[in-house]
Amino acid sequence: MDQVTEHTLAAARKVIAVHINYPSRAAQRGRTPEQPSYFLKPPSSLAHGSAEAPSVVERPAGCELLGFEGEVALIIGKPARRVGVEDAWSHVEWVTASNDLGVYDLRYADKGSNLRSKGGDGFTPIGPGLIPADAVDPAKLRIRTWHNGDLVQDDTTADLLFPFARLIADLSQLLTLEEGDIILTGTPAGASVAKPGDVVEVEVSTTTGATGGAELTTGRLVTRVEEGTTAFADFGAQPMADDVQREEAYGSRAAAGLAPVEGAAVGRVLPPELKAKLESVCTATLSSQLRKRGLNNVSIDGLTSTRPEKRIVGLARTLRFVPNREDLFKTHGGGFNAQKKAIDSVNEGEILVMEARGEKGTGTIGDILALRAQVRGAAAIITDGGVRDFSAVAAMDMPTYYANPHPAVLGRRHIPWDTDITIACGGTTVQPGDIIVADADGILVIPPALADELADESIIQEREEVFIAEMVAQGHSVDGLYPLNATWRMKYEAWEAGKAND
């Protein structure tokens, strides 16, 4: 079995990591990406370790949350540029184990790049053994991680969101994967936090042949954690940890020893079937169905969309601004404040709704934070206040609903105060976990308990309206037709039966 050597590390011009790729991790994070997304780690972060000679990684001085993530690493053997999925695996020479280490205390400073948080020296140990890629089925690999001797990660590559060949083919569309480049392919659930004195071990193994055979293994990649002693200089970003990052680092609030957040939409997921039904109908139809049920004040009014052609459906996350008071802004306005926490914790498909009291005299979101929300997979941002850096925000694929552009920063009129609470936005009440549906007609807030019934009734209503529109186009009067009287309803039912038999 070949071993990872200094030559292996020196040959890597690029280290590319995948954000989310295992269904277990997606479920833990509460978001499942439709396409893979990536970040770069510098080659200087590479190290190798074994039971005989463990790699040593420092938890930087002042940091609390050194996260570990056991991963399968692929080492490119021949250049790949614009290769197809069917040919991609042939460009991989070796498979090995890796540990994608990073400090969550510096995520806020990276603005999505992960450079400071995951790029430190020794933050990417790999090895110790190399498994020939042509000797394995990439869908039959097993990844295991031990933390101080306890097995904490145990998963296989059988049901990855993005199979390895797809990752290679996807990356090769825009950049050349060169000989020696390393791809970290994502981590399963169970990744957590290591402290000084802890030992983390990662192993990748498999069985050869379709019906089994001799097990191939990398052996255990062993990493020991030490406490850093050199403090960060005051001319750069300083480590900051809060409960949002603790929850992300440990995998859950419970694992981090945190109490549940009252009123937060923790663990709530919008079922794909319900989302698809709500996406298939217009807000005008949903509004009429809500009115039938006595709900009239469920629209967020007075806002404009940067992407009016898009229809969005997602669960609400909330952020509240309060009027600026200079003494309180000093304690709540700076650092990793509530606004940044909300942006940095919004999940795939969620919609961040902001209460800005309709105040148009300052911005509530700008290009950097909007980009961070888009990178995290937010479906939209909704604010009843102003937007800074408007041209850049408007150019993003993610829609932002806003009252007006304005160049000023928060401290002119607002203090970011708290998140995931009941708020008011655009004249209506929004709670965490409410379902937001928006299109060119407007924005609706739907109570989750009514959503299934509303969606089904709206689909029926729109079918009826297709029939009514056809009849009007044929020259019929709307009298008795819109809405359907008994005679026209019989004709509609016959029309519907005919459509079903087509």
* C-beta of residue 251 within 8 angstroms of C-beta of residue 258: no
Q: What is the pLDDT of residue 263?
A: 46
Task: Report how far residue 413's alpha carbon sits from residue 419's, in angstroms, rounded to the nearest whole number.
Answer: 18
At residue 55, the pLDDT reads 95
**Rounded Cα distance, 145 and 247, in Å:** 20
Q: Is 100 annotated as a binding residue?
A: no
What's the rounded Cα separation, in Å, for the pair 456 and 286?
10
Separation between Cα atoms, residue 126 and residue 450, nearest integer Å: 50
DSSP 114: -
Q: Is 368 annotated as a binding residue?
A: yes
Q: Is 298 exposed, middle or buried (0-12, 13-18, 19+ CB in 10 A)?
A: buried
Q: How many CB atoms lie within 10 A of CB 491?
A: 14
CATH 3.90.850.10 residue ranges of the chain are 2-250
Q: How many residues does the chain have?
A: 502
* pLDDT tens readout for residues 109-147: 887 889 999 999 999 999 999 999 999 999 999 999 999
Q: What is the pLDDT of residue 502?
A: 63
How far is residue 104 from each of residues 6, 22, 107, 124, 353, measured CA to CA in Å?
A: 28, 20, 5, 15, 25
**What's the chain's Rg over C-alpha atoms?**
26
CB 438 within 8 A of CB 298: no
- What phi and psi, each to the nearest 5 degrees, are found at residue 451? -65, -45
**Per-residue confidence (pLDDT) for residue 261, from 0 to 100:** 55
* Structure-token pair, residue 187: 């981590």
> What is the location of CATH 3.50.30.40 in the chain?
297-446
418 annotated among ligand-binding-site residues: no
In three-state secondary structure terms, 134 is helix
pLDDT at 213: 64
Q: Where are the alpha helices (DSSP H) in 218-363?
A: 243-250, 272-279, 283-292, 326-332, 338-345
Phi-psi region of 501 (alpha: psi -120 to 50; beta: other; left: phi over 0): alpha
CATH of segment(s) 2-250: 3.90.850.10
pLDDT at 1: 60
Domain at 297-446, CATH homologous superfamily: Ribonuclease E inhibitor RraA/RraA-like (3.50.30.40)
Q: Which residue is it, tokens 């990406």?
A: 33
Element (H, E) at 28: helix 23-29
174: three-class secondary structure by DSSP: coil
Ranges of the chain whose pLDDT falls below 70: 1, 30, 208-213, 260-268, 500-502
Q: 9 phi and psi, to 5 degrees? A: -70, -40
SS3 track for 40-103:
EECHHHEEECCCCCCEEEEECCCCCCEEECEEEEEEECCCECCCCHHHHHHHEEEEEEEECCEE
**Annotated binding-site residue? 381:** no
- pLDDT score recorded for residue 317: 94
The structure's pTM equals 0.57
137 annotated ligand-binding residue: no
Is the CB of residue 464 less than 8 Å from the CB of residue 499? no
Contacts of 182 (CB under 8 A, 6+ apart): 12, 14, 15, 16, 46, 73, 74, 75, 76, 98, 124, 126
286 is in an annotated binding site: no
